[in-house]
Protein backbone atom coordinates (compact mmCIF):
# COMPACT_ATOMS: atom_id res chain seq x y z
CA UNK A 1 0.00 0.00 0.00
CA UNK A 2 1.09 3.53 -0.77
CA UNK A 3 -1.04 5.96 1.23
CA UNK A 4 -1.11 9.60 0.11
CA UNK A 5 -0.31 11.98 2.97
CA UNK A 6 -2.59 14.64 1.48
CA UNK A 7 -5.83 12.79 0.66
CA UNK A 8 -5.36 9.53 2.60
CA UNK A 9 -6.14 7.35 -0.42
CA UNK A 10 -4.18 4.24 -1.35
CA UNK A 11 -2.32 5.24 -4.54
CA UNK A 12 -1.90 1.58 -5.57
CA UNK A 13 -5.64 0.90 -5.46
CA UNK A 14 -7.17 0.86 -8.97
CA UNK A 15 -10.32 2.47 -7.55
CA UNK A 16 -8.36 5.59 -6.55
CA UNK A 17 -8.66 7.96 -9.50
CA UNK A 18 -7.36 11.28 -8.12
CA UNK A 19 -5.86 13.10 -5.21
CA UNK A 20 -8.07 15.66 -3.49
CA UNK A 21 -9.89 17.95 -5.89
CA UNK A 22 -9.17 20.71 -3.35
CA UNK A 23 -5.39 20.34 -3.71
CA UNK A 24 -3.40 23.51 -4.37
CA UNK A 25 0.29 24.24 -4.94
CA UNK A 26 1.46 26.78 -2.36
CA UNK A 27 4.51 28.78 -3.47
CA UNK A 28 4.44 31.07 -0.44
CA UNK A 29 3.84 34.24 -2.46
CA UNK A 30 0.81 32.76 -4.25
CA UNK A 31 -1.23 29.58 -4.50
CA UNK A 32 -1.89 27.86 -7.83
CA UNK A 33 -4.09 25.09 -9.12
CA UNK A 34 -2.09 21.94 -9.88
CA UNK A 35 -1.57 20.80 -13.46
CA UNK A 36 -3.62 17.67 -14.03
CA UNK A 37 -2.34 14.40 -15.44
CA UNK A 38 -2.47 14.59 -19.22
CA UNK A 39 -2.29 18.40 -19.29
CA UNK A 40 1.49 18.55 -18.74
CA UNK A 41 3.70 20.05 -21.44
CA UNK A 42 5.34 16.62 -21.72
CA UNK A 43 3.24 13.89 -23.24
CA UNK A 44 2.70 10.80 -21.15
CA UNK A 45 1.20 7.59 -22.40
CA UNK A 46 -1.38 5.55 -20.57
CA UNK A 47 -4.68 6.27 -18.93
CA UNK A 48 -2.97 6.31 -15.52
CA UNK A 49 0.10 8.12 -14.27
CA UNK A 50 2.99 5.68 -14.05
CA UNK A 51 4.09 7.10 -10.69
CA UNK A 52 1.02 8.01 -8.61
CA UNK A 53 -1.63 6.04 -10.54
CA UNK A 54 -4.19 8.84 -11.09
CA UNK A 55 -6.29 8.81 -14.25
CA UNK A 56 -6.06 11.41 -17.03
CA UNK A 57 -7.66 14.71 -16.14
CA UNK A 58 -7.20 14.20 -12.39
CA UNK A 59 -4.82 15.67 -9.80
CA UNK A 60 -1.47 14.02 -9.06
CA UNK A 61 -0.63 12.97 -5.50
CA UNK A 62 2.06 15.20 -3.87
CA UNK A 63 5.59 13.99 -4.59
CA UNK A 64 4.66 12.43 -7.92
CA UNK A 65 7.63 12.51 -10.30
CA UNK A 66 5.34 13.30 -13.26
CA UNK A 67 3.64 16.40 -11.80
CA UNK A 68 4.50 19.62 -13.61
CA UNK A 69 5.15 22.86 -11.74
CA UNK A 70 2.48 25.47 -12.54
CA UNK A 71 5.10 28.22 -12.10
CA UNK A 72 8.14 27.12 -14.15
CA UNK A 73 6.66 24.08 -15.93
CA UNK A 74 9.53 21.85 -14.86
CA UNK A 75 9.25 18.75 -12.71
CA UNK A 76 7.57 19.99 -9.50
CA UNK A 77 9.47 17.73 -7.09
CA UNK A 78 12.85 18.98 -8.32
CA UNK A 79 12.38 22.48 -9.75
CA UNK A 80 12.95 24.44 -6.52
CA UNK A 81 9.90 26.68 -6.86
CA UNK A 82 8.45 25.29 -3.62
CA UNK A 83 11.61 26.14 -1.65
CA UNK A 84 10.64 28.91 0.73
CA UNK A 85 14.18 29.66 1.96
Band of residue 40 on the pLDDT scale cut at 50, 70, 90: very high
Question: Which residue range forms the structural domain that includes residue 60?
Answer: 1-85
pTM higher than the cut 0.75: yes
Number of domains into which the chain is organized: 1
Q: Please report the pLDDT score of residue 22 as a whole number.
A: 85
Give CA–CA dist 41/6, Å, rounded: 24
CA 85 to chain centre: 22
Q: Please report the pLDDT score of residue 46 as a whole number.
A: 87
Quickly count: other Cβ atoms within 10 Å of residue 46's Cβ.
10
Measured CA angle at 34 (ends 2, 19), to 5 deg = 30
The 10s digit of each residue's pLDDT in 3-13 is 998 899 999 99
Strands 31-32 and 25-26, how do they pair? antiparallel
Band of residue 85 on the pLDDT scale cut at 50, 70, 90: low
Amino acid sequence: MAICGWCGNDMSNPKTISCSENAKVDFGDYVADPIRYGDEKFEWSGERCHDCNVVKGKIHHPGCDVEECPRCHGQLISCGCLDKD
